[in-house]
Amino acid sequence: MNPARPNPSGDRPLRWLTAGIAAGLGVLLLGLWQVQVMSRHRYQQRQESQSYRTVRLPAMRGKILDRQGREFAGNSPRYRLDLYLDELRPRFQDEYKRRRAALIAGRGTSQASGDGGVFGWLMDRFRKPRSRGGVSRSELDRLNRESRYAVVSNTVAEINRRLGTALTLSEPALHQHFLGKTALPLPLLPNCTPAQIALITEQGWNIPGVQLELVPVRSYPRGTLASHVVGHLQRHDDYDEEEGRYDYRLRDYRGAMGLEAAYDRELRGQAGARSILVNSAGYRHRGGQGLNLDPEPGLNLFTTLDLELQQATERALGSVHGDERGAVVVMDPSNGDILALASAPAFDPVEFVDGVSPVRWTNFFLAEPATPLMNRATYGQYAPGSTFKIIDALALLEAGLDPDAPYAVEPDPRNPSKGAYYLGRRAIRDLASPGEYDLRRAFIRSSNSYFIHHGLRLGWDRLISTALDFGLGQHTGIRIPEEAAGDFPTLAKVRERGWGLGNLANVSIGQEITLTPLQLSVVVSAVANGGRVYWPRLVDHLAPEDPLSDTPPIHVKAGQVRSELKIRPAHFQRLRRAMRDDVLDSEGTGKSSRVADFAVCGKTGTAEIKGNGRKDQVTWFASFAPFEAPRYVVVVMVESGASGGGTCGPVARQIYEFLRDRERMPSPRIASRMPMP
């Protein structure tokens, strides 16, 4: 064999190895081509869609209802026209390219490059970075902003043309939304009318990015009815306890007044969350939206109010003179339930849903003396005037006063037809005529002289202790934010203020102290029921909308006794007869509240108001009915009234007439029966 001749059989393994390597390289090249060429768009899109944004979804707010489940506050659907900026992305880019090209062409920068040779090219590398064509970064940002605004403005103009509206677009608001909330829609028309909805649906709109959204909105179907009890909402998008949990928040509200505020957490429910997949520019990614957590609706709140009685109460209060400032409380004396609570002037809570304008806020809500946001029934603090003689009479009887012993009221020299009481050189006028008075006649004629004379003999200790036992100077615990405690001093405060006999004389006739209409209602309820001072109750229970929900209802116990007055039943009975005679007797100051077949028992009052450079008076009528088995307490207060009997008595009469007629109907009465104590 020739050793120089190659051996073909020995090259075969090398050839197989070479072929295998070539095949492997071919597969590798094919894979690279598949990844880099064929799948380039898919991977590029995945790279752009690289993060999620968590959106807080507010829950459906619970309803506020009367004792029978009728709505004071609920939720209604509202159609909103939104604009999704991500749908306009191609138009943004086209407009940007057009403006950029126009800018470059205007500058003639196409020939600016290459004139400096190698040195110029090197210097350009160290200068402030510029985009192609010599446009600076700040100019590019400006072009982007202008392009977005131009495109969205054209979209809004097209909407105006089709709907016949006059929507305007705020450029700062658009840029703020784009930079901070690109993944969320930009609201254009917050409340579409039925006609606008019809136009949108009938025409089958093809405007990119525009979408009609159905959103729940707080509604108040009764308007101003019970507005101070129900309260109102205000915008609230920041919750400290949820810091860092959400990237974006849809519009949300919290209670700012009344029951909306007191039970905000229960009514608000539990917010939900939605994750939105966005690209690196912050645009919503198509098909990248998922619901992570459903919102949990808030609990429905059932009040102790009766809707029809509330309507009758506000109607009666509105009959005074049309622009009254006053309050009415109707209470069940057997358990402390609030059956109606009205304050005038009222307001419409729906105004706060979309926001109150500064002009409206200044000219209406802050206007004095109306101040419609003030709940005069629970927050207004007024001198009780002669209605305080209810407490006077009980304190005097408990101290051993002989109710039948006469007291002679002296005539006022300046007005002999009226009485007067002289404390040293000071003459205290009396609206009652001079003559002899026992407790009953002094009460129904509202003689200041009688109660000052015996009040001075009674002294501070007994008067203060009796008033404090009724809860004066203390909150009633009704659990709404707008409640004042009034001003009734303790014995220590009397000494601290240095009050003497002159002050004691004033307090004996309801001056120099203040209370709220609600506090006076608690006082009269205790008189009507024989000495039980109740915590007034405004909420019966809270329960979920879904009867199959696992969430248990929350009940507020009825008839919670705050204290039992240690006053003899015979003294309560004598006072109740005097209150009955104040209405039935021809000499009584409360005869304007008389109702046929319904024995009303009451006490009128008038007190002066001084302060802030103005002098006024507040008028009262405090009452319960019927005499034989008290079921209702009605306290009426009107600012700038003529007198308790002339102004407030007729208001109470209208309410009692409604209650009497209501009880004659086959439907069950509102309040429970309570036998005469």
In DSSP notation, 2-62 reads -TTS--HHHHHHHHHHHHHHHHHHHHHHHHHHIIIIITHHHHHHHHHS-EEEEEEEPPPPP
478 plus 573 within the same structural domain? yes
Asked if residue 172 belongs to a domain, the reply is: yes
Residue 297 Cα distances to 60, 63, 271, 277, 542, angstroms: 5, 10, 8, 26, 13
414 plus 271 within the same structural domain? no
Contacts for 23 with CB less than 8 Å, ≥ 6 apart: none
pLDDT band at residue 130 using 50, 70 and 90 as cut-offs: very low
Averaged pLDDT of the chain: 87
232 plus 323 within the same structural domain? no
Asked if residue 46 belongs to a domain, the reply is: no
Model confidence over 278-296: pLDDT tens digits? 665 555 555 555 557 888 9
Last residue of a domain, one of 302, 326, 360: 302
293 plus 383 within the same structural domain? no
**Looking at the 3D structure of the chain, how many domains does it have?**
2
For 674, the 3-state DSSP assignment is coil
How many CB atoms lie under 10 A from the CB of residue 91? 18
Asked if residue 38 belongs to a domain, the reply is: no
pLDDT at 105: 82
Asked if residue 230 belongs to a domain, the reply is: yes
615 plus 552 within the same structural domain? yes
CA 315/CA 312 separation, integer angstroms: 5
* pLDDT exceeds 50 at position 92: yes
Name which of 90-104, 133-147, 195-209, 466-480 the model is least confident about.
Answer: 195-209
Query: Could you tell me which residues are beta bridge partners of residue 409?
Result: 435
298 plus 334 within the same structural domain? no
* pLDDT exceeds 90 at position 137: no
Report, as an integer, the average pLDDT of 141-146. 89
pLDDT cut 90: percent of the chain above it: 59
pLDDT at 279: 60
Asked if residue 35 belongs to a domain, the reply is: no
pLDDT at 609: 78
287 plus 414 within the same structural domain? no
241 plus 325 within the same structural domain? no
512 plus 610 within the same structural domain? yes
* pLDDT exceeds 90 at position 418: yes
* pLDDT exceeds 50 at position 559: yes
Look at 675 and 540; give whichever has higher pLDDT.
540
Classify burial at 129, counting beta carbons within 10 Å of its beta carbon; exposed 0-12, middle 13-18, buried 19 or more: exposed
636 plus 493 within the same structural domain? yes
Counted residue by residue, the chain has a size of 677
Name which of 86-95, 345-354, 455-464, 611-620 the model is least confident about.
Answer: 611-620
pTM score of the predicted model = 0.82
> Which domain covers residue 624, as residue numbers?
307-351+374-664
CATH number at residue 92: 3.90.1310.10
If you ran DSSP here, which 8-state letter would residue 470 be given? T
Asked if residue 313 belongs to a domain, the reply is: yes
Asked if residue 612 belongs to a domain, the reply is: yes
* pLDDT exceeds 50 at position 111: no
259 plus 313 within the same structural domain? no
565 plus 437 within the same structural domain? yes
If you ran DSSP here, which 8-state letter would residue 434 be given? S
